[in-house]
Amino acid sequence: MKKVLTIAGSDCSGGAGIQADLKTFSAHGVYGMSVITAVTAQNTQGVFAVQDISRDVIAQQIEAIFDDIEVDGVKVGMVSQIQTIEVIAEQLRRFCPPTIVVDPVMVSKSGYHLLNPEAEVTLIKELLPLAMLVTPNIPEAEVMTKTSIRTLEQMEEASKAIYQMGAKNVLLKGGHLEGDAIDLLYDGREFSRFFSTRIATKNTHGTGCTLSSAITANLASGNRLNEAVSMAKEYITIAIQHSLSIGKGVGPTHHFYSLYKKAGLIE
């Protein structure tokens, strides 16, 4: 069994962050491990508090895993502070996992800033050059490139700019544009487009975390990048189609719908 690590923040409501990542890993048949960078108080209505984990404890979590277990892939999610980013980058350079996917989580759907603005430059400088793939959404890409993105052509220009920051591949997610969702994958030479019909639901909590984790699991399992992205897109589309109306706000996706259906647990 392939073994995949998520380095991210904890979502106590279970829809995003570490919890979504581990559910996604399990749904893809890989063994999930976690390094917690921050503990958040959040639910379907918003993020209310964040407690960052110390640099030393983050380092020790990473060391404990890599000293004992062979890691086939790493997904990096919420990293809110400069020192957090620096220690993660140091450890990833030390242990050199074969696959690193960076999801540059900056702002929650409720508008809470999960990445300290002063840390944005550090994230770009330290983590992007280590990434096989970086997966920003449009608001995140706008922050990274200091540009406005309203069209597919502007998505392409932003992808090129982010590629120049050091990532080996860029998947710019187009879910914030009008119409059907189009994601662009740029490898420095050409673009691949991934289409999905927009689903009429408010329950999209944790979609970014889930997609990047699915891609990481697929890459760790030996799939080529285009295949890994395509499979992950199919997975997250099904998870959104059958999302869960849990809580009073933006509910989570259904990470195990396909498995539950095969097992006869749902109709």
Catalytic residues: 173, 204, 206-209
Rounded to an integer, what distance in angstroms lies between the CA atom of residue 52 and that of residue 151?
36
183 SS3 class: strand
As given in the structure block, the two tokens for residue 120 are 């944005």
How far separated are the first and last CA of the chain, in Å rounded? 29
Q: What's the CA angle centered on 261, arms 257 and 263, to 5 degrees?
A: 120
* Phi then psi dihedrals of residue 264, to 5 deg: 75, 20
Three-state secondary-structure class, residue 94: helix
In terms of C-beta density within 10 A (0-12 exposed, 13-18 middle, 19 or more buried), how is residue 50 classed?
buried
Q: What is the CA radius of gyration of the chain?
A: 17
CA distances from 39 to 5, 57, 79, 139, 236 (A): 17, 13, 11, 23, 25
